[in-house]
Amino acid sequence: MDNASLKPDQPVLQLVEISRSFTIKAGFLAEKKILRAVEDVSFQLMRGECLGLVGESGCGKSTLGRLCSGLLPPTSGQVLFLGRDLPEAGCGSWARGQIQMIFQDPFSSLNPRMTVGDSVAEPLLAQGVDAKVSQEQACAMLATVGLKDVERRYPHEFSGGQRQRIAVARALVTKPHIVICDEPVSALDASVQAQVLNLLCDMQEQFSPAYLFISHDLNVVGFMCQRILVMYLGRIVEAASRDAIFSDPRHPYTKALLAARGGKASTETILHGELPSPINQPLGCTFHPRCPKAVDICRQNLPPLKEVSPGWMVRCHLA
């Protein structure tokens, strides 16, 4: 089934109450602790949309991205790809090549010993496409991302922006349903960032993949995404359209992220302190120790994620 034959209102990916924790042991004699990286996350990724995932460093964005791609199994909950359970590692025969990832650092995601032609052809070979056809399609995809006659060269011969173009070609060469973009421009200079973002938009127009677009930068997410999920300590605290988030944010954490957006003050300054450890999460609303509006109930009960208007969810007692 290609992207064009999916109904517009059919989610390509659905997460149902997904949680993921890690068991941590700091030293040989240290006791084991549970780190809750992702807690009770549910959402749908619709065909061809660009869904943003934003939040501070360490809030669980990459873990959620890996859960969506099948690279990491959940501790509990369900990941449905086209309505069916996602096979582990995303590589069960029917899902192979259908969910691809683009990472922050293309230098570590591209094998330095492989020519870029071979790197881009690799996902096709994994799908069982014939070697010659894979090479031809890889060259064509490299040309589509603006890199002609480069297939025999190696990653170190390219600039950061060009390497990220190669990573985009590799992610899109199988015409996947979903591309998880995990901070794809965070390591690039501002001028190059815009080029890579525009390339991702062009690729979406041509091949209609849905993007889960992960970034700590609300400006970048605002440029790319129609819908935004705001994450705090592993939980979704606000989910709404970009326009809603930018014009009338309801969660105090979203407000702080917006206030920090101009770059004059960091989220830590605005919120007085850093993200608490996901090992010792605060009781009640996990945001209450940093919340300027917190009242008694916030210290006692975790607020549910409730719908404040159609398609707009907020996890706050006061919203």
Ligand X SMILES: Nc1ncnc2c1ncn2[C@@H]1O[C@H](COP(=O)(O)OP(=O)(O)OP(=O)(O)O)[C@@H](O)[C@H]1O
Residues 158-187 that bind Mg ion (CB under 5 A): none
In the complex with ligand X, the residue whose CB is nearer, 62 or 135, is 62
Contact between 288 and 280 under an 8 Å Cβ cutoff? The reply is no
In the complex with ligand X, the residue whose CB is nearer, 63 or 193, is 63
- Name 26's bridge partners: none
Choose among ligand X, Mg ion, none what residue 58 binds, the Cβ cut-off being 5 to 8 Å by kind: ligand X
Among 271, 305, 270, which residue's Cα sits nearest to residue 288?
271
Question: For ligand X, which residue of 45, 48, 62, 90 counts as binding (CB under 6 A)?
Answer: 62
Which class for 259: exposed (0-12), middle (13-18), buried (19 or more C-beta within 10 A)?
A: middle
Query: In whole angstroms, what is the distance from residue 179 CA to residue 195 CA?
Result: 18
Q: How many residues bind ligand X (CB under 6 A)?
A: 14
Q: Residue 274 has which token pair?
A: 């850093």
Which region among 10-18, 51-59, 169-177, 291-299 touches ligand X (by CB under 6 A)? 51-59
Residues 39-68 that bind Mg ion (CB under 5 A): 62
Q: Residue 135 has which token pair?
A: 């090479």
| Least separation in angstroms between CB 55 and Mg ion | 10
Choose among ligand X, Mg ion, none what residue 123 binds, the Cβ cut-off being 5 to 8 Å by kind: none
- Asked if 69 touches ligand X (CB under 6 A), the answer is no
Comparing every residue's Cβ against Mg ion, the nearest one is 62
Provide the 3-class DSSP secondary structure of residue 81.
strand
Which region among 50-58, 199-207, 221-229, 295-303 touches ligand X (by CB under 6 A)? 50-58
- Asked if 14 touches Mg ion (CB under 5 A), the answer is no
Residue 103 DSSP class: -
| Least separation in angstroms between CB 182 and Mg ion | 6
Which region among 3-11, 61-69, 92-100, 173-181 touches ligand X (by CB under 6 A)? 61-69
- Distances in Å between the Cα of 283 and the Cα atoms of 38, 233, 256, 297, 298 are 16, 12, 21, 11, 9
In the complex with Mg ion, the residue whose CB is nearer, 177 or 216, is 216
Question: For ligand X, which residue of 60, 70, 155, 184 counts as binding (CB under 6 A)?
Answer: 60
| Least separation in angstroms between CB 53 and ligand X | 9
In the complex with ligand X, the residue whose CB is nearer, 6 or 218, is 218
The contacts found for 84-87 with CB under 8 angstroms, 24 or more apart, are: 86/13
Which region among 8-16, 59-67, 121-129, 156-164 touches ligand X (by CB under 6 A)? 59-67
Which region among 55-63, 89-97, 139-147, 149-157 touches ligand X (by CB under 6 A)? 55-63
Which region among 58-66, 149-157, 249-257, 297-305 touches ligand X (by CB under 6 A)? 58-66
Among 184, 185, 241, 180, which residue's Cα sits nearest to residue 211?
180
**For residue 224, which phi and psi values (nearest 5 degrees)?**
-90, -35
Q: Residue 279 has which token pair?
A: 């090992």
Contact between 229 and 297 under an 8 Å Cβ cutoff? The reply is no
- Asked if 58 touches ligand X (CB under 6 A), the answer is yes
Query: In whole angstroms, what is the distance from residue 77 CA to residue 80 CA?
Result: 10
Contact between 227 and 49 under an 8 Å Cβ cutoff? The reply is yes
Contact between 51 and 12 under an 8 Å Cβ cutoff? The reply is no
Residues 257-286 that bind ligand X (CB under 6 A): 278
Query: In whole angstroms, what is the distance from residue 318 CA to residue 290 CA?
Result: 15
Binding site for ligand X (CB under 6 A): 22, 24, 35, 37, 55, 57-63, 216, 278
Binding site for Mg ion (CB under 5 A): 62
